[in-house]
Structure 1
Amino acid sequence: MGADGRDGREQIDAVPGLSPTAARRRLGTALRELRESTQLTLDDAGKPLQRSAATISRLENGKVKPRLIDVGVLLDLYADRRPDVVTEDQRSRVLELATESRREAWFSPFRDVLAGSMISDHVRRYVEFETDASRIESYEPDVVPGLLQTESYIRAIAERYYEENTPEQHKRFVQFRLARQNVLRRREEPLQLHVVLGELVLRRVIGGPEVMREQLSAIADQLRNGLPNVTIQVAPGALLTRGAIGGPFVVMSFADSQDDDLIYLEGRSGAEYLQGTDYLTEYRTLFHELASSALDREASLAMIEEVVKTLE
């Protein structure tokens, strides 16, 4: 199963918050701003650490895991020159980012799952991007996206598509997929998710009527009074806008590094990541047109409730 549960292969923010990668980027930005406020060069900053300018540059670009003692020395250096800038609150925040930068990624406890046959390389990469994203806009015409799947729906996918795997492997896969959904509930800046589901997603019965009824009821509950950072719409099967034809796609946006914004396209044999202004403009336009043409919240809820009745 793919990142959203498609044919292909496949996340617990153990400490709900920033991922280590995102924390390193923010730490680097903060250190660079502090250094520039003191009018020190990279060479100047490196001297008390006995580090080269290139090393300080990598630290400021979020390319290396920071040493807490090095960050403390830099803060002392900058505070000596600009105590008005390096306040106690600023120091605490920077040291907190440094600590977050050093911890293991949330998916570290799932090494067994990541190394197994149910997870593909491109999905491992997707998981890291999704953890750091501030906003995701996704069109899914085939199955319920992973971030919205219920436990029984995930289990049905695992048992149906990975029959060769053991029950224990299926169990771990379910835990992994459910843990991934914590990005929607993390303490700091929960992911903003906007999903457009193709009508087929509602009518494709995965795991039997009971499993599907539970899954659709969960989506209906989200539409009625769910997380404020989650938007769900349904695109009727007759909809012929450009975005509705041509397969699923995901637009990922990153608050702290817009240069990392990307398009994710998944196929049966792999995935493609597209970056650059032209691609982003094209797919954001497609998603906007699709969302504008899809059913609104009330109409989407009505369609889902109608399908649920056919499963009773």
Structure 2
Amino acid sequence: MAADRQAPSILGFPHRPEWGPAAHRKALAGYLRRCRDHAGVPSHQAARCIHSSAATLSRMETGRSAIKAAEVERLLDVYHVHDPRERARVSDLVEEAAKPEAWQPFANAVPQALRPLLAMEPAARRIISYEPQLVPGWLQTEEYAEIVIRAYHPTKPAREIEERVSLRMQRLEMLRREASPPVLLAVMDSEVFRRRVGTPGVMYRQIKHLLALLEELPYQLKLQIAPLTVGAAGAIGHPVVHLRFFTPEYLPDMVYLEQYEGALYREKPSESERYLAILNNLCWVATPAEQTSALLEQALTAWR
């Protein structure tokens, strides 16, 4: 019996503007889906209550569609959610979910495949990144980023390249914020520091930038270098990002798999745990983070 089961609650998900609208929308979407299941209301019936279709309700319940306050209020009535604390928290989340995403000022330049990652990474408690070819985007200098982006998109207009560079520079700021900043554990192949991007001066300044970031963000940034001797553990072949959030009961782990023409996302627990195991194994065999600064200092000598 639905009445015998404990009613879903959204009170465990805090109102945290620094986490971004997408995290609030996604947590709220899952809550609405659980409330409907608890109330035993079929999706087509709930959709009729808000003068919509079952497909639209499905997008709302997965966070892929905007959530309107009036519709949410009506659904809560239908699902018999009367607790004023629950409804107050829902109201806060609806308001936060309606705000612009961090990438939206650069919408014309941001590829569709990258938007879910950009939208959700501010809400992460921990980010593990593996990059086999380049310095990870969060940690690139402006000149390094511009060269990389131009190489990937040689036909794009200069204005769009500039916007992509600006957005990439902005992403690091989440590590600098005072309220619940994520921890970034980035693993790079050692060949990244031998692969010339631009002039030797660009490479020299990029490595110096990494050294400065390690000093500036000793608790939020951990950097490891995977030598060629790691063998099969480092044969992933493409960038991987694993996000773990502050509230896993509301936001499941997310995995981003970069492809040349797009990206894949994995959120099923069995898949995200598999990639986490792969990344953990790579971290285990890579050079310890405590040795990274010394290795970067050595890498500088090749670009003086």
TM-score by shorter chain over 0.5: yes
Question: Is the aligned partner of 1:245 residue 2:235?
Answer: yes
Question: Is the aligned partner of 1:291 residue 2:283?
Answer: yes
Q: Which residue of 2 aligns with 1:20?
A: 21
Percent identity over the alignment? Answer: 29
Q: Which residue of 2 aligns with 1:206?
A: 197
1:230-269 aligned within 5 A? 230-240=221-231, 242-248=232-238, 249-254=240-245, 255-256=247-248, 260-269=252-261
1:1-312 aligned within 5 A? 17-28=18-29, 51=50, 62=63, 64-68=65-69, 82=83, 86=84, 93-114=89-110, 119=111, 121-186=112-177, 188-226=179-217, 228-240=219-231, 242-248=232-238, 249-254=240-245, 255-256=247-248, 260-312=252-304
TM superposition score normalised by structure 1? 0.71
Secondary structure in structure 2 of the residue aligned to 1:138: strand
* Shift in Å, 1:173: 1.9
1:50-73 deviations in Å (ceiling 9; x for gaps): 648989998676565343456678
Seen in structure 2, the aligned counterparts of structure 1 residues 97 and 263 have a Cα distance that, compared at 3 Å, is: closer
Seen in structure 2, the aligned counterparts of structure 1 residues 227 and 65 have a Cα distance that, compared at 3 Å, is: farther
Deviates more, 1:197-206 or 1:245-254: 245-254
2:188 touches 2:226 (CA, 8 Å); kept in 1? yes
Paired with 2:92 and 2:178, the residues of 1 have a C-alpha distance of 15
Secondary structure in structure 1 of the residue aligned to 2:219: coil
2:26 touches 2:251 (CA, 8 Å); kept in 1? no
What is the RMSD of the two structures over their aligned residues, measured on CA atoms? Answer: 3.9
Paired letter, 1:104: P
1:82-127 deviations in Å (ceiling 9; x for gaps): 5xxx45xx7765433221111222222112213xxxx4x4334443
Secondary structure in structure 2 of the residue aligned to 1:239: helix
Secondary structure in structure 2 of the residue aligned to 1:263: strand
Seen in structure 2, the aligned counterparts of structure 1 residues 256 and 289 have a Cα distance that, compared at 3 Å, is: closer
* Shift in Å, 1:228: 2.1
Paired with 1:234 and 1:264, the residues of 2 have a C-alpha distance of 20
Q: Which runs of 5+ in 1 are unaligned?
A: 1-14
Give the total of aligned pairs.
282
Secondary structure in structure 1 of the residue aligned to 2:230: coil
1:190-235 deviations in Å (ceiling 9; x for gaps): 3332111110112222121222122111211222341522221111
Seen in structure 2, the aligned counterparts of structure 1 residues 175 and 18 have a Cα distance that, compared at 3 Å, is: same
